[in-house]
């Protein structure tokens, strides 16, 4: 095996902007592209390999072909034939709806699928861009419904001004919303279950309001109030900085202007690199080499033992994630 690249799956949305196409250097004139699904095993939106001798295979095909050699022994036993992570870039020209995702127990009871825990890394943010994450005050499920119906729900949500490099961890159950002007990388469980709570009374091109899931969301919401919903970390050069470690994924940031060596010999998992800034070359222990620039995402199989990352002249920022 070798480092896999995939053809991005572009999603046009009501709120999508114009940043993804140039960020990924895609020759495409699509408008309102809100999401680029970089690595996906979601049914109906499966990623297709874009490089090497497995080009043309879907991610599902890769898992069936390579099994634990791709996923890792424990991951293959845990997740079977379903690749466990979904990687996206998201560009919000307008506010996204306020939403929540169910945990594994509720999602499996209702849909037979996994729930959705996720994280955001802010790649860039327009002046004044914001995100909403969690509650700013305690409310009851009864008050929740009342505030949704009388359009005051945003008054009890925690709102943050955002800047490049900000990180938010969003466990299943946390109410959240991406604000206008935010351009982010999202790492999440492989699930497309979203309960839309509030959509700012928007109408689509046909004048219809999008469906809300007020009652379904109520059972999924974690009403706990925290002091701070941001993920605070100390930035370091040329060292991995762990941002999130949870049962579903571990993600670290590499901000590099010098070459580094990564030893994965004790890791029983695939590794994903998401290049969010700059450029680099990645070389594995089998001698496979691949160049990455901002907007690229690659999947390294679990058989990889070690990797050398050499940044380009202007340095590189990579997100590394695995299960």
Q: How far apart are CA 23 and CA 293, in angstroms?
A: 10
Closest CA to 257 of 318, 184, 193, 298: 318
| 100 beta partners | 195
Q: CA 63, 68, 71, 75 torsion: positive or negative? A: positive
132 labelled catalytic? no
pLDDT digits (tens, 9 = 90+) for 95-133: 999 999 999 999 999 988 899 999 999 999 999 999 999
Residues 57 and 49 sit within 8 Å (Cβ to Cβ): yes
Confirm if 280 and 318 have CB atoms less than 8 A apart: yes
SS3 of 241-293: the string is EEEEECCCCEEEEEEECCCEEEECCCCCCCEEEEEEEEEEEEEECCCCEEEEE
CB 135 within 8 A of CB 156: yes
Return the exposure string of 181-218: e unless at least 16 CB atoms fall within 10 Å of the residue's CB, then b: bbbbbbbbbbbbbebbbbbeeeeeeeeeeeebbeebbb
Domain ranges of the chain: 4-220, 241-322
What is the model's pLDDT at position 111?
87
Q: Which of 64, 196, 202, 230 is catalytic?
A: 196
Domains 4-220 and 241-322 share a fold: yes
Q: 241-322: what CATH class? A: mainly beta
pLDDT of residue 203: 78
Nearest-angstrom CA–CA distance, 288 and 258: 20
Q: What dihedral angle (degrees, nearest 10) is formed by the CA atoms of 197, 203, 204, 209?
A: 50
Interior/surface letters 158-175, b for 16+ CB within 10 angstroms, e for the rest: bebebeebbbbbbbbbbb
In sequence order, which residues have a C-beta less than 8 Å from that of residue 182 and are 6 or more positions away? 90, 92, 122, 125, 126, 129, 130, 131, 162
User: What's this model's pTM, rounded to 2 decimal places?
Assistant: 0.95
Q: Which fold has domain 4-220?
A: Jelly Rolls (2.60.120)
Res 105: pLDDT = 96
Low-confidence ranges of the chain (pLDDT < 50): none
Q: What pLDDT, on the 0 to 100 scale, is given for residue 50?
A: 98
* Residue 43: how many other CB atoms lie within 10 Å: 11
CA atoms of 175 and 195, how far apart (whole Å): 10
pLDDT for position 86 = 98
């Amino acid at each position: 095996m070798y480092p896999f690249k995939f053809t991005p799956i572009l999603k046009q949305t009501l709120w999508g902007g114009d940043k993804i196409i140039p960020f990924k250097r895609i020759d495409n004139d699509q408008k309102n592209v809100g999401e680029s699904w970089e690595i996906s095993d979601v049914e109906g939106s499966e990623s297709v390999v874009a490089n090497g001798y497995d080009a043309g295979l879907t991610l599902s095909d890769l898992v069936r072909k390579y099994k634990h050699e791709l996923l890792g022994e424990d991951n293959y036993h845990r997740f079977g034939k379903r690749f466990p992570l979904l990687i996206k870039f998201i560009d919000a020209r307008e506010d996204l709806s306020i939403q929540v995702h169910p945990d594994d127990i509720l999602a499996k009871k209702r849909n037979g699928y996994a729930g959705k825990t996720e994280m955001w890394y802010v790649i860039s943010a327009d002046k004044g861009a914001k995100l909403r994450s969690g509650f700013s005050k305690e409310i009851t499920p009864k008050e929740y419904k009342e505030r949704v119906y009388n359009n005051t729900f945003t008054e009890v949500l925690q709102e943050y001004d955002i800047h490049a490099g900000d990180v938010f961890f969003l466990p299943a159950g946390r109410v959240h919303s991406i604000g206008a002007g935010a351009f982010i990388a999202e790492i999440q469980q492989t699930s497309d279950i979203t309960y839309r709570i509030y959509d700012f009374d928007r109408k689509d091109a046909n004048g219809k309001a999008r469906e809300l899931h007020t009652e379904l969301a109520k059972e999924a919401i974690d009403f706990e109030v925290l002091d701070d919903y941001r993920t605070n970390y100390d930035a370091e050069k040329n060292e991995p900085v762990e941002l999130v470690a949870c049962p579903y994924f571990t993600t670290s940031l590499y901000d590099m202007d010098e070459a580094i060596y990564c030893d994965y010999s004790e890791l029983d998992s695939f590794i994903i690199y998401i290049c969010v800034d700059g450029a680099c070359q990645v070389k594995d222990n089998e001698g496979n080499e691949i160049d990455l620039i901002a907007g690229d995402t690659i999947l390294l199989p679990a058989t990889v033992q070690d990797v050398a990352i050499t940044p380009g002249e202007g340095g590189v920022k990579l997100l590394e994630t695995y299960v």
